[in-house]
Structure 1
Amino acid sequence: MLIGASERDFITKGVESGIRADGRGPLDFRQFFLETGMITQASGSCRATIDFGTDVLAGVKVQVGDIEGRVDSDEAQADGAMVEDAGAGDDAETGAQSRGNVGRVVCTVECSPAAKSVLDAREVDDMCNEYSQILTRTLNGPHGGLDLQKLCIIPGSTCWVVNVDVLILDYGGNVLDTIFMAVRGALHNTRLPKATVEQTDGHFEFDISDDETEILAGRESVPVAMTLSKIGTSRIVDSTPLEALCSAAQVTVFVNRAGNVCGLQKSGKGSLEPSILIDMIETGVKLGTELAEKLDAVLDREERDRLSHIEPTGFR
């Protein structure tokens, strides 16, 4: 996507004057829409759409996996049970500690042909790889929100693997923020089967319920992403594709509902003065906290509306 010099100058001067091309102020968002439970085969799903902009669908599928990375076969999952040797003595205890007692989140971001038509093919691949890494790093990190220890089924052996698959259906700017909204909604919508573990003669045996009824522990603390773009001497949120082309640098603040910074991501070739960077981070924390609170309210309301067969509503 290219932009002419005159159009760049028009957008830059408008932002510096506090008026954007679509009439919004520097810190105004476009309207968002959320809808959960769209994919019946998934453990959880959510579609996040920006009005006249980006459209993202996130699906979550949970499965039993080995803590070291091996995923159990479909046959073992169909049986709903597995027997693991607990070992004996200090060796078994040391091995369990070395492998950890936590589950994990595996994230993949892909782009639909409709969205690819707007961007260069190489840009699409780089963007999807980058966003996949950011999602995986954030959700598996110490401030990712999800309680990964609660995903452990058998210490040192077996855990829940949460697979998060994201599809960018349409491109209209502010993609990363929209992805995190969709993923947060999908994790909020996700239900796990109940796992019952029993130990007999030094062996662990577990049984998995057929019904998915358990929520993900810590889902309310999953962070949102708030990206601020520096254009000229000003900064804006929820940038359009043309505004993104005029931006020299972007700062994404990952913040949870409690207002805690969970991560930072700087992109773009331009530099930022320390005072400007601090101001962008503080603004991102404030707006991100407000967004997380709105998301929770909308997700709760949307779930009730969906069960009552009412069309989803948006929010500003």
Structure 2
Amino acid sequence: MDSKLANTWRLTVNEKNFIKTALLSEIRIDGRKPFEFRNIIINFGSEDGLAEVQLGQTRVMGIVTAKLVQPYQDRPNEGILTIYTEFSPMADLSFETGRPGESAVELGRIVDRGLRESRAVDTESLCIVSGKLVWGIRIDLHILDNGGNLVDAANIAALAALMTFRRPECSLGGEDGQEVIIHPPEMMEPLPLIVHHLPIAITFGFFIDESIVMS
């Protein structure tokens, strides 16, 4: 994981030796084995597109919303997927209020790249009128507690929220047949997103000249 997303502090020689001994002995403070993942708890909200993930001591909330937007010129038949991250000082004292810092931007890019490059979400199914209107899907990731493995927790929170999200059904009407009519949920059942697969992020750490690997 990028050092920007990790808690950094100065270690004394004794602390470094202690960590090195623990690594060589495959001992962790929480008792996990080298490749044993943190416990995962996923809670879903009462509303569509809301999920909270707890990975060990880290908690991340994912919220998915959608609105009609213009597509990118080079991809007129595809919807748009964007990710925003919010770091609160209540989650970690190193986080600052105000504009997203480098860590928040980097985390959003990593999660976005995993979803986009794997083409997990079928963006072509989000097209309403080619070149004019598509669904823009927004994922907001709120860091509630930072206890490590932020990338993994944020990735799972994004996927869980996407899997439970339902967008409004819409149709074309009007005199020219190009007017978009968005139907309320009581009239037409909202539609789930088409998610082809679930790209799960797993972070690894390399220690002591990369001779030891831990997840």
Q: TM-score of the superposition, structure 1-length normalised?
A: 0.58
- Paired position in structure 1 for 2:144: 169
What secondary structure, in the 3-state scheme, does the structure 2 residue paired with 1:162 have? strand
Runs (4+) of structure 1 exceeding 4 A deviation are 198-201
Give the counterpart of 1:59 among 57, 63, 82. Answer: 63
1:181 maps to 2:189? no
Conserved 8 A contact 1:101-1:149: yes
1:225-282 deviations in Å (ceiling 9; x for gaps): 1111102221111xxxxxxxxxxxxxxxxxxxxxxxxxxxxxxxxxxxxxxxxxxxxx
CA separation in 2, counterparts of 1:50 and 1:210?
A: 36
Conserved 8 A contact 2:86-2:104: yes
| 1:9-88 superposed matches below 5 A | 9-37=17-45, 40=47, 43-51=48-56, 53-68=57-72
What secondary structure, in the 3-state scheme, does the structure 1 residue paired with 2:90 have? helix
Q: How many residues align?
A: 200
Q: CA deviation at 1:105?
A: 0.8
1:183-228 deviations in Å (ceiling 9; x for gaps): 1100011011111124854x5122111116211012x513111111
1:99-132 deviations in Å (ceiling 9; x for gaps): 5210011111111121231x2649x822101011
Give the counterpart of 1:210 among 181, 184, 203. Answer: 184
In structure 1, the gaps of 5 or more residues are 69-96, 238-316
- Paired position in structure 2 for 1:145: 120
Determine which structure has the larger helix proportion and give its number: 1
What secondary structure, in the 3-state scheme, does the structure 1 residue paired with 2:106 have? helix
CA separation in 1, counterparts of 2:54 and 2:33?
A: 20
Q: CA deviation at 1:137?
A: 3.1
Rg comparison, structure with higher value: 1
CA separation in 2, counterparts of 1:5 and 1:210?
A: 63
What secondary structure, in the 3-state scheme, does the structure 1 residue paired with 2:168 have? strand
Root mean square deviation of aligned Cα = 2.2
- Paired position in structure 2 for 1:100: 76
CA separation in 2, counterparts of 1:101 and 1:200?
A: 23
RCO (CA 8 Å, sep 6+): is it higher in 1 or 2? 2
CA separation in 1, counterparts of 2:74 and 2:199?
A: 28
Matched letter for residue 215 of structure 1: P
Conserved 8 A contact 1:197-1:207: yes
Matched letter for residue 63 of structure 2: G
Q: TM-score of the superposition, structure 2-length normalised?
A: 0.84
CA separation in 2, counterparts of 1:116 and 1:24?
A: 23
